[in-house]
A and B are shown apart, each in its own frame.
Chain A
């Protein structure tokens, strides 16, 4: 059972842990330096042995703590989830210790998080891009990355040399996309159609 006693015994002697909330599942905030120790303890002593997910949140460019890594663990005994937030201290070069030595499942999840957010996982055995190609220059899930994408060279240099082709942003004219939520209503209404270019007529530079 994940009750008050469980939380108290988990927190005792661990100053690096704080409880954020317990709405859908117990949510802890952990200092990056103690993440591996916490995960080992949760796996070996508290039966949270199934790491279901590792991901990150980008809180935006002007946030004090820009990136937090979020881990979700599941216990087959408690039949419940546990969430761990780890805030990256450095906004420009975020680093978090890898838990792939504790949970092999973290290997691919951390590669994906690195691929999408550019968060480095120290001591990761094989930290390289997983969904995008190796030479891709951007981190697509960062908030400043535009939805349409950015012009980049083709992954196959020999092909682009002959054809002159590159990877172009997706044309999304008239798409059902709306701007990000929050703020005044005029800002949350659907974005106006960009009529400065069409698929036949080039976008003005």
Chain B
């Protein structure tokens, strides 16, 4: 008996199978507790075979009502809550919040305080990007880079601990300054750290940047166009990866960023790979900024002296001097007095533009504090971005967006 072999093209079989399955879609739920989602993001998806046809993000699993809490406590009391927004860069959140209130209160800061703030912001950026790059590699299947980035991040956390007393929840800023001056010899340690960091970044680059598997998984995946990125309000490295030159440190300098020289890396395609490249380069630029800050660290006070009604007096004065005791009492009971008005301030945080909209009707507590979380805005594009991709791309896309649910849900 003779056998005839019919030549069939692979595409035909695929098309046959697809026509057979037409209309037979599967609902898939990812999260809220799933390693892909880096926290408690939940995605409700509709699959056609392996490709995603619909994706609906569900938020709110980490909602604490931070904005409601803010309306019920004095300005300085809210600082610890800002740690818990983007908990991978608490120092940057502290600074953004403090600057917002100071803008409304009209407090002028001494140069040293501003330099300290720039320094800690950039250290927070490095810490956040090290984590972002490490887990992104892990999402794409590469475990080793994570080990390198976490080793470095650990060193940063030791430095944070020495500066603020806490590794994670730093609460370092106060309205009108920072909590305490830099410890003796701390700057030397930071300098040593940033001198050694490029080596670790190089290692990560050697492992990932020209890695065939990594390239195949990230190039051309999750591409966001310039227009879409702006329309959906994406900010930070994710926006710059799309080729939009928006960096608030350059465009609307705050805390003396205009004094330092650095470049703003910009992507071309806006895919997952570009977002990774932009973060790598931002780490290198942050190292440059930190070196400049350390080289030009001004002396003087680390808090605004004229902000009498705002900044708590030094503890030894409270115990010995009547006036300072009264001042301390007023600040504890009534909070720093901020004049009525409204202000909006955005800082260029590692995840994007973290904005605070503050409405005051006078007195010691905010009337309304809206937190504009970059992760919240960055995630809103998922509904449009994800459909058309394969299910396995979800991990990479989410990893490349580098979001934090603590700030998304607030």
A130 contacts B60, C-beta separation under 8 Å: yes
Asked if B387 is an interface residue, CB under 8 A from chain A, the answer is no
Looking at the complex, which one of B67, B245, B344, B370 makes contact with A81 (CB distance below 8 Å)?
A: B344
A178 contacts B73, C-beta separation under 8 Å: yes
- Give me 27 A-to-B residue pairs in the complex whose CB atoms sit less than 8 angstroms apart, sorted by A's number: A24-B343, A24-B344, A49-B230, A50-B246, A52-B233, A52-B372, A53-B372, A55-B372, A57-B359, A57-B367, A72-B357, A72-B372, A79-B251, A81-B344, A83-B342, A104-B380, A104-B384, A108-B376, A108-B380, A112-B376, A130-B60, A131-B59, A147-B68, A147-B72, A178-B335, A181-B365, A183-B363
Query: Once the chains are docked, how many angstroms separate the CA of A112 from the CA of B343?
Result: 20
B74 contacts A51, C-beta separation under 8 Å: no
Asked if B361 is an interface residue, CB under 8 A from chain A, the answer is yes
Contacts of B72 in A (CB 8 A): 147, 177-180
Asked if B83 is an interface residue, CB under 8 A from chain A, the answer is no
Q: Which of B191-248 contact A (CB under 8 A)?
A: 230-233, 235, 244-246
A180 contacts B365, C-beta separation under 8 Å: yes
Looking at the complex, which one of A52, A176, A181 makes contact with B361 (CB distance below 8 Å)?
A: A181
Closest-by-CB residue of A relative to B246 is: A76
Q: Which of A79, A180, A181, A183 has the most CB of B within 10 A?
A: A181
Looking at the complex, which one of B233, B344, B357, B370 makes contact with A51 (CB distance below 8 Å)?
A: B233
Asked if A13 is an interface residue, CB under 8 A from chain B, the answer is no
Asked if A33 is an interface residue, CB under 8 A from chain B, the answer is no
Query: Once the chains are docked, how many angstroms separate the CA of A34 from the CA of B329?
Result: 49
A131 contacts B60, C-beta separation under 8 Å: yes
- The segment from A1-9, A88-96, A184-192 that touches chain B is A184-192
B60 contacts A133, C-beta separation under 8 Å: yes
Total residues of chain B contacting the partner, CB 8 A: 51
Looking at the complex, which one of B103, B235, B244, B364 makes contact with A181 (CB distance below 8 Å)?
A: B364
CB of B109, distance to nearest CB on chain A (Å) = 17
Asked if B259 is an interface residue, CB under 8 A from chain A, the answer is no
Interface string of B312-338 (1 = CB under 8 A from A): 000000000000000000000111000
CB of A65, distance to nearest CB on chain B (Å) = 14
Contacts of A50 in B (CB 8 A): 230, 233, 246
Contacts of A179 in B (CB 8 A): 72
CB of A79, distance to nearest CB on chain B (Å) = 5
CB of A94, distance to nearest CB on chain B (Å) = 16
B341 contacts A23, C-beta separation under 8 Å: yes
Asked if B130 is an interface residue, CB under 8 A from chain A, the answer is no
Contacts of A141 in B (CB 8 A): 67-68
Known: A81-B344, A181-B365. A55 touches B357 (CB 8 A): yes
Looking at the complex, which one of B69, B344, B376 makes contact with A147 (CB distance below 8 Å)?
A: B69
A107 contacts B363, C-beta separation under 8 Å: no
Residues of A within 8 A of B (CB): 23-25, 27, 49-53, 55, 57-58, 70, 72, 74, 76, 79-81, 83, 103-105, 107-108, 112, 116, 129-133, 140-141, 145, 147, 149, 176-183, 185, 188-190
Query: Once the chains are docked, how many angstroms separate the CA of A190 from the CA of B330?
Result: 12
A176 contacts B73, C-beta separation under 8 Å: yes
Looking at the complex, which one of B68, B355, B367 makes contact with A52 (CB distance below 8 Å)?
A: B355
Contacts of B252 in A (CB 8 A): 79-80
A53 contacts B370, C-beta separation under 8 Å: yes
A188 contacts B333, C-beta separation under 8 Å: yes
Closest-by-CB residue of A relative to B358 is: A24
Query: Once the chains are docked, how many angstroms separate the CA of A25 from the CA of B103?
Result: 12
B103 contacts A24, C-beta separation under 8 Å: yes
Contacts of B183 in A (CB 8 A): none
A83 contacts B368, C-beta separation under 8 Å: no
B68 contacts A25, C-beta separation under 8 Å: no
Asked if B65 is an interface residue, CB under 8 A from chain A, the answer is yes
Closest-by-CB residue of A relative to B63 is: A131
Query: Once the chains are docked, how many angstroms separate the CA of A23 from the CA of B355?
Result: 17
Looking at the complex, which one of A129, A130, A180 makes contact with B71 (CB distance below 8 Å)?
A: A180
Contacts of A23 in B (CB 8 A): 341-343
B363 contacts A188, C-beta separation under 8 Å: yes
Contacts of B341 in A (CB 8 A): 23
Interface string of B350-382 (1 = CB under 8 A from A): 000101010101111101101010001100100
Query: Once the chains are docked, how many angstroms separate the CA of A112 from the CA of B67?
Result: 12
CB of B58, distance to nearest CB on chain A (Å) = 9
A53 contacts B67, C-beta separation under 8 Å: no
B372 contacts A140, C-beta separation under 8 Å: no
